[in-house]
Amino acid sequence: MPEQRVIDADELILKTERQRKFITGAQAMAEAVKRANVDIAIAYPITPQSEVMHLVGDIWAQGYLRDYYRAEEEYGAMSAIAGAVRGGARAFSATSGPGLLRGLEAIASWPGHRIPVVLGVLTRVVNAPLSIQPDNVEISYLLNCGMVVLHAENQQDVFDFTLAGFVISEKVDVYIPVAVCTEGFFVTHAKGYVNMTPEDLKLPPRDPYKAPVPPTDCEIPPARIQRDAPVQKSNFMSYLIHAVWQQEIWSSNRRAMKYINHYLGGPIEVVNEDAEVFIVASGCAAAQGREAVRYANMEGLNVGLVKVKSIRPFPEKQIRQVLSNAKAIIVPEHNIVGWLAKEVKACIPNSDAVIGGPRVYGGMTLPVELIMEKVYDAFGIKKSKKVVV
Amino acid sequence: MPAEIVPGPSGYIPTPAVFEEVELSPPGYGLYLGQIVDELTAMREAARAMLTRRNPTIFPGPKILWGWNAHAMEEAKAILELSAEIPNCRIIPMPDYRPKYPKIDPEAEINPNHPNLTILHNKIEACIFVGVHCHYANLSLRMIRAGTNCFTIALCGELGHEDAMVSIRDLTPEKIRRFKEVLIEVREELGIHHSPTPPPENPSLPQEDFQTLSVLDYGEYSYLLLPRKDEQVTDTE
């Protein structure tokens, strides 16, 4: 293990010279953890997440993390993460599909308990029958937890979002978990070029006293298993306490936007902002959308792309502004429910302009030609040839 | 355009200031009624409220009450100096954040789970939160705005509070003392004659004899005290 020097977060993320490597998404996530001065990683293996946590285990063995263990299952893993973070540690975990749902009760309690942590979500099918294939329907289960949800398009995003995720989650006015989601296999097991910060530099350690809540004293008895006592109705206790608590979590979620602007260049990326027809996509559907824009432009069609990096907080204002003159909005997705299309429809006045699809799921790939069929439909161009398997 | 954050009662359920586009102020600035203003303006408006509204009260939180460090002790001293300059000022602590059942003593303390009880019982129309962790301060500030007409002031060691009528960030003992000077200036402008008077003893708290004081005297708060070196704590919850 090389000697690592602590450096200011802004310096590390925004200013250091980067080195280009050709690595998988799983490697990119582990490389970000390596540079994040993480104290502890806890997880339970599940495909395709196991590749990430295997690599994090490797860097623990090399001395980059202070502790690492496999929990009994995901509920235990996510509960243990909460304990470690309450005690002042910087922690990392990752999971996939059914594992995410198994840990979801604990995960959904993280924001309310003010647990700043980064959770890698390497998506896969969650439905029966059992399958390990790519599908990102599980992200829809995270949308109402209160946590920050970022969706990475490629290996570079995975590195950037994971490293910045630790910094954003620990900001005093945010202090809620950050989920870094990306498609299993399509990104985690495929290689791409990643510009990485130097290996010998790392984030400053977590300061648990710079927080909107007191850290839990894990050493001096009486040991406390949670910071916040239940708030129950009584004659002198208002239901309002839980309401304002929930408001505080969603206020914190919104406050994260300024840090997303600062560290990630904003919650969306726009290609060809004067387009007539837009493709709005997140995750690796954005990569296919980017390619569809190239195809369309080669054919002289004025098509643009809105890549959504931040699903929570959702960039309503920014999307509304970009799409204000769009004649049609195509939302390709890797799931059957179309959670992104619903989000987009909800934030623009002309929701009829949204074409919810194409959607692929259950492990199917998303051919660019499938998106192009929707593009032709949007421009009223008749094509007889259809994409078939 | 950010909403104006004014004293309540704002209604059955408050809308958080963040949802109404109020943003925390940058360093060197404060918030007054949800708008970003220079720090001096924020201090002057806070002073005016504490000098002109009924039953001004300071709520010190655990970061000052239980902060076993020189910074917290200095802040505590500065808060006492500030309180002495405000006519009829009281100090009611927020010693911890746990809900108290069946009911707190509203003269003895304020609690973030039902801060309105203390505000309403004591008819407090202007207050200062200081040394309260941001999460719990935000809960309190929002509930107070929902159900009372109290003008809230947040003196915050971190980034400030959108739901307070006045928010001052990056608090230090020096900044508290600067606020005290501004308050004296505003008091003179208002023609209020006052010589420094310490706030009254809290009527609900027993007098402490520091010669014989033991951890057990702190009752349910004793767990907050650190054991002395080599002291063995055998009792656990």
| Structural tokens at position A164 | 């910045």
* Containing structural domain, residue A162: 5-202
The DSSP output letter for A122 is E
Give the total number of structural domains in chain A: 2
Going by pLDDT thresholds of 50, 70 and 90, the confidence category of residue B231 is low
Residues A186 and A284 in one domain: no
Maximum CA pair distance of chain B? 58
A196 located within any domain: yes
Mean pLDDT of A207-219: 86
Q: Which tens digits make up the pLDDT trace of B71-90?
A: 999 999 999 999 999 999 99
| Structural tokens at position A1 | 């293990």
Residue of A nearest to B138 (CA): A248
Which chain B residues touch A229 with a CB distance below 8 Å? 98-99
**In this predicted structure, which of A211-215, A278-282, A339-343, B192-196 has the lowest mean pLDDT?**
A211-215
Residues A160 and A47 in one domain: yes
A236 located within any domain: no
In sign, the C-alpha dihedral spanning A177, A183, A189, A190 is: negative
| Structural tokens at position B210 | 């520091």
Query: A210 touching B, CB under 8 A?
Result: yes
Percent residues over pLDDT 90 in chain A: 89
Residues A191 and A302 in one domain: no
A356 located within any domain: yes
Give me the residue spans of the domains in chain B: 35-190
Q: For the domain bounded by B35-190, which CATH number is listed?
A: 3.40.50.12640
A217 located within any domain: no
The DSSP output letter for B235 is -
A350 located within any domain: yes
Q: Which of A181, A202, A223 is the last residue of a domain?
A: A202
Spatial contact of A172 and A255, defined as CB atoms under 8 Å apart:
no
Cβ–Cβ gap A255/B24 under 8 Å: yes
A365 located within any domain: yes
Q: Which helix (H) or strand (E) holds A74?
A: helix A74-86
Q: Which of A167, A202, A237 is the last residue of a domain?
A: A202
Model confidence at A189: pLDDT above 60: yes
Cβ–Cβ gap B134/A238 under 8 Å: no
Task: Render the burial of A158-169: b for 16+ CB within 10 Å, e for the rest.
Answer: bbbbbbbbbbbb
Spatial contact of A134 and A185, defined as CB atoms under 8 Å apart:
yes
Q: Which of A148, A170, A202 is the last residue of a domain?
A: A202
Q: How far apart are the first and last CA of chain A?
A: 48
Going by pLDDT thresholds of 50, 70 and 90, the confidence category of residue A220 is low
Residues A280 and A187 in one domain: no
Enumerate residues 241 to 300 of chain A having a beta carbon within 8 A of any beta carbon in chain B.
241, 243-245, 247-248, 250-251, 254-255, 258
A215 located within any domain: no
Minimal Cβ distance to A213: which of B99, B135, B162: B135
Single-letter amino acid, residue A135: D
SS (H, E, C) A236-283: CECCHHHHHHHHHHHHHHHHHHHHHHHHHCCCEEEECCCCCEEEEECC
| Structural tokens at position B78 | 């500065």
Cβ–Cβ gap A234/B236 under 8 Å: no
Residues A292 and A194 in one domain: no
Give the whole-angstrom CA distance, residue A145 versus residue A149: 10
Spatial contact of B25 and B16, defined as CB atoms under 8 Å apart:
no
Best of B1, B109, B110, B113 to substitute, by most chain A Cβ atoms within 10 angstroms, is B113
Best of A114, A175, A233, A237 to substitute, by most chain B Cβ atoms within 10 angstroms, is A237
Cβ–Cβ gap B159/A172 under 8 Å: yes
A279 located within any domain: yes
Structure pTM?
0.94
| pLDDT at A221 (0 to 100) | 59
Can you tell me the ipTM of this complex?
A: 0.94
**In this predicted structure, which of A165-169, A271-275, B63-67, B148-152 has the lowest mean pLDDT?**
B63-67
| pLDDT at A29 (0 to 100) | 98
- What's the CATH code of the domain at A298? 3.40.50.920
Residues in B lying within 8 Å of A, measured between beta carbons: 13-14, 16-19, 23-24, 62, 97-99, 101-104, 112-114, 116-117, 133-136, 138-139, 142-143, 146-147, 158-159, 162, 223, 226-227, 233, 235-237
Helix segments in A87-190, DSSP class H: 97-102, 104-109, 138-142, 155-169
Cβ within 8 Å of residue A103, ≥6 positions away: A74, A75, A77, A78, A95
Model confidence at A178: pLDDT above 80: yes
Residue of A nearest to B103 (CA): A236
Going by pLDDT thresholds of 50, 70 and 90, the confidence category of residue A223 is low
Best of A247, A249, A259 to substitute, by most chain B Cβ atoms within 10 angstroms, is A247
Query: A207 touching B, CB under 8 A?
Result: no
